[in-house]
């Protein structure tokens, strides 16, 4: 009898289930269910009161309901028996933080709190804690906190500490009522198994946990806010375990709801981007994985801990047990192309796209592909959404240079793609120069479907770039965690590298650098680097001055 | 009986006549006639052979036919008697150069030459002599030619010397056959009066003539090309006279063709931009006139000759007899906005424009007007068409900085307008710093109809900016030349300042700087200047590197 694992991929708008064969990783069925309340950024489902700007919440009931629907659906579609499912794995957005009572009851489900926005789960892209993040960063820098260097010298407003501080400052009664603050990933696992653990991936990358040093010190918390000293000891109580660790078995209630067998192993979860790396067959050092969508996350495993400058995070056991997981990022990639297509493409291109039944991206990429490197005469800095790695500066902004009266729409489109490729090359070189080897590159995500973009990345980096073979690369990674939680004796695997060796398909495509593109792109990259340093490292702070002028008045 | 003067404005696509009252300058009638052959840039009217790239010719017969039509038309429309017209003035594009025989017969009218492109009039915007211009500039710099400093250190491919050199090199037999090379302006006057003169405006600004030193030396010509030493002595034979000087009276033939009296005074002509300055009532030092269209020309009179850095030309008697006329320019202004509107505005704006019956410029300006200075967070360098003053560098290119995912179309539109205003401020400051006083500003041209743009220029420069009152400001200037050619005794005026005092209307509008806009624009201007110097003066030559990459391969 074949054995199966189920991966659950909890995204921003929906949850997906993927049922795969444990022996081969072959996908038998997949299903997606949108969250009924979607992203809650205008008003709570329970109230008409407008949320403040930059808020983004989710309804945790959507996670549970959606999960039930999609698991039942893949079981039905595949015909797999309940007994043949050996394990369940989860990936999730992060930091997505839910305040609960001591037994895991979400505060927002209590009648007295249901109309309080702070009682709801704050989604990863809740950006209303920037002021708190600034103060965390200032204080950590002033105190020379040892953990700061592991995050490139700065943490994001999306992470645990700023969100928890915002909760405490703006709703102190709710902070008090929240016996626990739990990542969505860990909360779902808690529901499924009855056991509260903290996965090392979100703990490390979003809550500043370190395998040896633990969380930041109580001294630091006290300096940040006198009422916050219980954050790690109480509100984040629970053991930290690596992704793929078996947290427990399915409870009877959830086995029934999902249509599975009670006791089925449930794995400690992982962040969605990092799940993609696993699904992309990267389970050891030397290969960089890039998940390329609205933004790009670069992940890489190492054998030692290097506090690399400009890298967004290093966490032991954060991705694969036994390795140091390095993470870097580009804050805007697909987002920039989307901005361009929405704001800068004249009607004639729309008409051509309509009449040929193609997307604007297709039309622009088709025209841009006819240009040789350098032909546009344009160069951009890809900072429309700031710069994450290596400058860790959200206040930087985009630049386009070289415009003439003959500049065409597709030339700008290509220059924007090239700029993001240059940004990736900066990150690769930062890793390499600091002793973290990048031998090859594997990619996943929506942008891998753009052959022009992929070829430009290969040409700019001078590396072969493989596109991961799995259609649902994150969900496959989650399913691999489920197989590892089962273990070999339970019909799965004893390690992620064993799982990767058996369960991941070959790349769908490998892009190889074109020899005659290397020299012009090296020349352009040299110019990019010069502008990068000039505008990014304080020599000319015009981008910050413009932000100030933008906000004044 | 009222007395009238007629101004003839020879443009790129058409000729206009304006008949005005001499006493008041009031316009009684105007008429426009497009040139039958338009701009000849694809093939000669006599041949199907394609012209090379960057060529632009005109048919001089169109000038004569058009002139006859429009003069007859304004006479008919106004009811002015032929005897009441006291003088005729002309403005013209330049350098627009016609090769002729010794009696003024255009070479292109001779059957043996009619199929030869080089036998035709090269229009100002014929840009195929860039290689020749480069060599003229290199040689003049190497020889430290005294005239070079009067033109900001560089001459344009549009001017006489490069065009004549191209003629000699590419069609030596035609160069030999051309007894005369004549500006369109002077050739039309030659036809009307039988007298060949050279107006000081085109001679000075386009042919490097100087009132004291004359033309560049024969030594220089010999070094440039051994067969070119006769350029000024023979091919440019004829006295140089200031605009408004009476060249002669209408011949009987032309009096008949136009419907005027033989002997009617005809003035020495002027370049079209400079005519606008006269029509804008600027006839003495202290007031800068800007004619603002696809590009902007800045004109200013001074009492002494200053070899100002970055200024495109200084010519004694070039605009108004007795003064040194200074000219600077911005190579792209309206052109940049047109590029933007054509290439970067998405369909929703087009739909709004259509549904409200407004132009895209109207829609964009309306939205951009709601922004306060600095609010866009954007800053641009207005070099889409290179930089004329003060850098005199056609290889510079446009830059846009400060883009975010929230950047809106109208914000970019406003940033582009602001950048051109900053470019004007650089020119004003260059004049002022070098001792050429700019007390006030008067403007003419199509862009003066954009109130947002005009207000931004006032705010950025901190100056009041008046919009010249005349509808047809160049043609009025030409008519003023006609009135001055007539002289007081002939029913006109003895000087251009007398004519300006009587014949020019009050400004239609005066834009005054808004007090609360000065500080933010000063802050933005400081950033603009820093980028201007960084990219424009050799510290970072990325724009040139990009041009090289653009041209290679």
pLDDT tens sequence across B38-61:
999 999 999 999 999 889 999 999
pLDDT digits (tens, 9 = 90+) for B216-257: 999 999 999 999 999 999 999 999 999 999 999 999 999 999
User: Residue A494, exposed/middle/buried by CB under 10 A (0-12, 13-18, 19+)?
Assistant: middle
Rg of chain A's alpha carbons, rounded to an integer? 23
Is the Cβ of B364 closer than 8 Å to some Cβ of chain A?
Answer: no
Whole-angstrom distance, CA of residue A237 vs CA of residue A180: 7
In this prediction, residue B53 carries a pLDDT of: 87
Shortest alpha-carbon distance between residue B369 and chain A (Å):
15
Each residue of A83-131: pLDDT tens digit? 999 999 999 999 999 999 999 999 999 999 999 999 999 999 999 999 9
Phi, psi angle pair for A74, to nearest 5°: -70, -30
Inform me whether the C-beta atom of residue A64 falls under 8 Å from chain B C-beta atoms: no
The confidence score (pLDDT) of residue B304 equals 93
Q: Is A218 helix (H, G, I), strand (E, B) or coil?
A: helix
| pLDDT at site A281 | 94
Residue-wise DSSP of A444-462: ESGGGG-HHHHHHHHHHHT
**Closest to A39 measured CA to CA, from A93, A109, A111:** A93
Q: What is the mean pLDDT of chain A?
A: 96
Cα of B30 to nearest chain A Cα, Å: 33
CA distance B132 to B156: 10
Q: Do the Cβ atoms of A409 and B523 come within 8 Å? A: no
Note whether A419 contacts B: Cβ–Cβ < 8 A. no
Phi-psi region of A536 (alpha: psi -120 to 50; beta: other; left: phi over 0): alpha
The C-alpha angle B51, B52, B54, rounded to 5 degrees, equals: 105
Share of chain A above pLDDT 70, in %: 100
Q: Which of A283-287, A390-394, A525-529, B172-176 has the lowest mean pLDDT?
A: A390-394
Q: What's the pLDDT at B348?
A: 97
Q: Best mutation site among B341, B346, B412, B413 for testing chain A: the one with the most A CBs within 10 Å?
A: B346
**Mean pLDDT score, B290-298:** 95
Over residues B16-36, mean pLDDT:
98
- Distance between CA atoms of B502 and B278, rounded to whole angstroms? 12
Q: Enumerate the β-bridge partners of residue B327.
A: B299, B313
User: Cβ-count burial of B305 within 10 angstroms (0-12 exposed, 13-18 middle, 19+ buried)?
Assistant: middle
- Enter the ipTM: 0.92
The secondary element (H helix, E strand) that includes residue B548 is: helix B542-551
Mean pLDDT over A189-207 rounds to 98
Measure Cα distances from A1 to A23, A185, B98, B227 in Å.
Answer: 11, 31, 93, 97
The distance of B296 to chain A (nearest Cα, Å) reads: 16
User: How close is the nearest chain A Cα to the Cα of B175, in Å?
Assistant: 33
Asked if pLDDT for residue B553 goes beyond 70, the answer is no
- Considering Cα of A211, then A214, then A215, then A220, what sign does the dihedral take? negative
Q: Indicate yes or no: CB of B375 within 8 angstroms of CB of A549.
A: yes
At A220-249, the pLDDT tens digits run: 999 999 999 999 999 999 999 999 999 999
Cα B529 from Cα B527, distance rounded (Å): 5
pTM of the predicted protein model: 0.92
What is residue A372's DSSP assignment? P
Cα B385–Cα B391–Cα B396 angle in degrees, nearest 5: 40
Per-residue confidence at A551, pLDDT binned at 50, 70, 90?
confident
Q: Tokens 């700087």 — which residue?
A: B513
Query: Across residues B175-183, what is the average pLDDT?
Result: 98
CA B17 and chain centroid, separation: 18
- 8 Å CB contact between B485 and B244: yes
Sign (positive or negative) of CA dihedral B404, B409, B414, B417: positive
Q: Identify the band that residue B423 occupies on the pLDDT scale cut at 50, 70 and 90.
A: very high
CA dist A444 and A323 (Å) reads 21
Whether A553 shows a pLDDT value over 90: the answer reads no
Give yes or no for B530 touching A (CB within 8 A).
yes
Residues of B with Cβ-Cβ distance to A535 under 8 angstroms: 401
pLDDT at B116 over 90: yes
Residue B552 has pLDDT above 90, yes or no: no
pLDDT band at A308 (very low <50, low <70, confident <90, very high): confident
In the block, residue with structure tokens 């989604």:
A123
| B71 exposure class (CB count in 10 Å sphere: 0-12, 13-18, 19+) | buried
Euclidean distance between CA atoms B319 and B146, whole angstroms: 22
Rounded CA separation B348/A368 (Å): 24
Query: Could you give the percent of chain B with pLDDT greater than 90?
Result: 95
**Cα(B197)–Cα(B317) distance, rounded to whole angstroms?**
15
Q: Which of residues 382-411 of B touch A (CB under 8 A)?
A: 384-385, 397-405, 407-409
Q: Provide, as residue numbers in chain A, all residues whose Cβ is less than 8 Å from the Cβ of B348.
A: none
- Nearest CB partner across the interface for A398, out of B404, B409, B552: B404
Pure H helices in B504-541: 515-536
Give per-residue pLDDT as tens, A166-183: 999 999 999 999 999 999
Return the residue of A nearest to B526 by Cα. Answer: A542
Average pLDDT over residues A408-417: 98
Beta carbons of A118 and A35 less than 8 angstroms apart: no
The beta-carbon neighbor of B549 closest among A384, A400, A524 is A524
Calculate ∠ Cα A166-A172-A174, nearest 5°.
95
Confidence check: pLDDT of B70 > 80: yes
> Could you check whether the bond before residue A412 is cis, i.e. omega within 30 degrees of 0?
no
Kindly indicate the confidence band of residue A152, based on its pLDDT and cuts at 50, 70 and 90: confident
Give strand pairing partners of B194: none
Cα distance between residue B207 and residue B169, in whole Å:
18
Instruction: Give yes or no for a contact between A205 and A95, defined as CB atoms under 8 angstroms apart.
Output: no
Whether the per-residue pLDDT at B386 is higher than 90: the answer is: yes
Binary contact (B402, A404; C-beta < 8 A)? no
């Amino acid at each position: 009898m074949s054995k199966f694992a189920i991966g659950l991929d909890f995204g921003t708008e929906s949850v997906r289930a993927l049922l795969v064969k444990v022996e081969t990783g072959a996908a038998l069925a997949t299903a997606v269910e949108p969250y009924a309340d979607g992203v809650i950024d205008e008003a709570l489902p329970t109230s008409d009161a407008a949320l403040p700007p930059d808020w983004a919440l989710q309804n945790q009931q959507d996670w549970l309901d959606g999960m039930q629907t999609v698991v039942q659906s893949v079981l039905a579609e595949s015909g797999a028996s309940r007994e043949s499912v050996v394990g369940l794995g989860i990936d999730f957005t992060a930091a997505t933080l839910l305040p609960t009572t001591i037994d895991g009851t979400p505060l927002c489900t209590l009648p007295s709190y249901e109309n309080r926005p702070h009682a709801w789960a704050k989604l990863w892209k809740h950006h209303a804690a920037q002021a708190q993040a600034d103060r965390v960063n200032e204080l950590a820098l002033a105190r020379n906190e040892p953990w700061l260097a592991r995050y490139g010298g700065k943490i994001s407003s999306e992470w645990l500490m700023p969100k928890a501080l915002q909760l405490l400052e703006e709703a102190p009664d709710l902070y008090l009522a929240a016996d626990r603050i739990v990542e969505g990933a860990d909360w779902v696992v808690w529901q499924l198994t009855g056991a509260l653990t903290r996965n090392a991936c979100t703990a490390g990358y979003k809550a500043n946990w370190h395998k040896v040093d633990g969380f930041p010190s109580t001294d630091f918390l006290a300096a940040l806010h006198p009422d916050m000293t219980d954050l790690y000891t109480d509100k984040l109580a629970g053991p930290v375990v690596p992704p793929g660790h078996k947290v427990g078995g399915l409870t009877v209630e959830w086995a029934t709801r999902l249509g599975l067998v009670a006791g089925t192993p449930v794995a400690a979860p992982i962040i969605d981007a990092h799940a993609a790396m696993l699904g992309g067959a990267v389970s050891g050092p030397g290969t960089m994985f890039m998940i390329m969508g609205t933004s790009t996350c670069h992940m890489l495993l190492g054998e030692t801990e290097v506090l690399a400058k400009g890298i967004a995070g290093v966490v032991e056991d954060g991705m694969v047990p036994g390795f140091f997981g390095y993470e870097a990022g580009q804050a805007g990639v697909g987002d920039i192309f989307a901005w361009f297509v929405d704001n800068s493409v004249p009607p004639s291109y729309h008409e051509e796209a309509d009449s040929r039944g193609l997307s604007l991206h297709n039309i622009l990429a088709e025209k841009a592909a006819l240009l040789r490197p350098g032909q546009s005469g344009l160069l951009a800095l890809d900072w429309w959404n700031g710069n994450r790695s290596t400058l860790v500066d959200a206040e930087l902004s985009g630049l386009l240079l070289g415009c003439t009266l003959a500049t065409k729409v597709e030339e700008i489109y290509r220059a924007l793609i090239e700029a993001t490729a240059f940004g990736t090359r900066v990150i690769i070189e930062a890793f390499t120069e600091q002793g973290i080897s990048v031998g090859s590159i594997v990619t996943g995500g929506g942008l891998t479907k753009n052959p022009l973009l992929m070829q430009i990345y290969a040409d700019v980096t001078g590396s072969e770039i493989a596109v991961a073979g799995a259609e649902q690369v994150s969900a496959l990674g989650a399913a691999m965690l489920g197989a590892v939680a089962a273990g070999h004796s339970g019909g799965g695997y004893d390690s992620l590298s064993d799982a990767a060796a058996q369960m991941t398909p070959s790349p769908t495509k490998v892009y190889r650098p074109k020899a005659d593109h290397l020299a012009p792109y090296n020349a352009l990259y040299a110019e990019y680097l010069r502008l990068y340093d000039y505008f990014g490292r304080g020599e000319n702070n015009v981008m910050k001055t413009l932000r100030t002028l933008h906000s004044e008045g």
